[in-house]
Every structure is written in C-alpha cells, then in structure tokens.
Amino acid sequence: MFNYTLLKGDAGTALAAPDAIAVSRRMAEAFFGSPEAAYGSTVRMNNEKDLRIMAVFENVPDNASQQFEFVGNYTNLLETVQWLEILDLSWTVHVHPITSGNRSFESGRRK
C-alpha cells in the first residue's frame, strides 16, 4: 500500500466525479504555477475532454517503482479508452491511494 500526501482537495471526494482528476505538485506548478492555482481548474485531455483538478498530491518519489503525474476516475478512463471495456483488466489496473489525514481514496480499482 502506498500513501501520497494531499496538498489540496479532499481525499474522500476528489475522484468522485467522472471528470475529476488529481495531479502531482510538479504538474500543478508546470501548468498553473502552484497547487493552489491548479485546484479547481480545468485541463483538456487530448484536445477532447475537459477534466477538473479536484486534488493535488505531493510528487511521487523518484525511487518509486510506479511513476505518474495524475490519477483519474476509472469511469472516465473507460469512456475515453473504449476498447478497455472488452478486456478483463481487473488484475492489471494499478491502485494509487492518496491520503489526507486519516482519510483515503483509491483510483483505478475495477469492481
């Protein structure tokens, strides 16, 4: 189990909406200048779909085996990459919990 500290947002609701994403501090600073400015902002994915930044997490350590700059709602992933629905990915999807205090949320878990 991995924990990632939230700088902005609520771990209990950050990925609740299909268009919600959580981004790293690095991504927030690159696109918006700061985590505070990124929070609540909208980014466009592949020039097709708008996503709302509902959380900003601390950068993933360089020595982590899984490197990523953002996580999103799994429903949105299935809508965006439609061919995933025909695959049984329940064993290949990575789960990245993000914690804020004692609360956490998990993205990417197929039920």
pTM, two decimal places: 0.70
What residues contact residue 59 under an 8 Å CB cut-off, 6+ apart?
24, 25, 26
The model's pLDDT over 22-61, given as tens digits with 9 standing for 90+, comes to 999 999 999 999 999 999 999 987 787 888 999 999 998 8
Strands annotated E in 34-102: 42-45, 49-57, 70-72, 98-100
Mean pLDDT is lowest, of 11-20, 57-66, 68-77, 99-108, for: 99-108
What are 82-111's pLDDT values in tens digits? 655 565 555 444 444 444 443 333 443 333
Are the C-beta atoms of 74 and 110 separated by less than 8 Å? yes
Task: Count CA within 13 A, CB hemisphere, residue 2.
Answer: 19
Q: Does position 68 have pLDDT exceeding 80, yes or no?
A: yes
Indicate the Cα dihedral angle 65, 70, 74, 76, nearest 10°.
-150
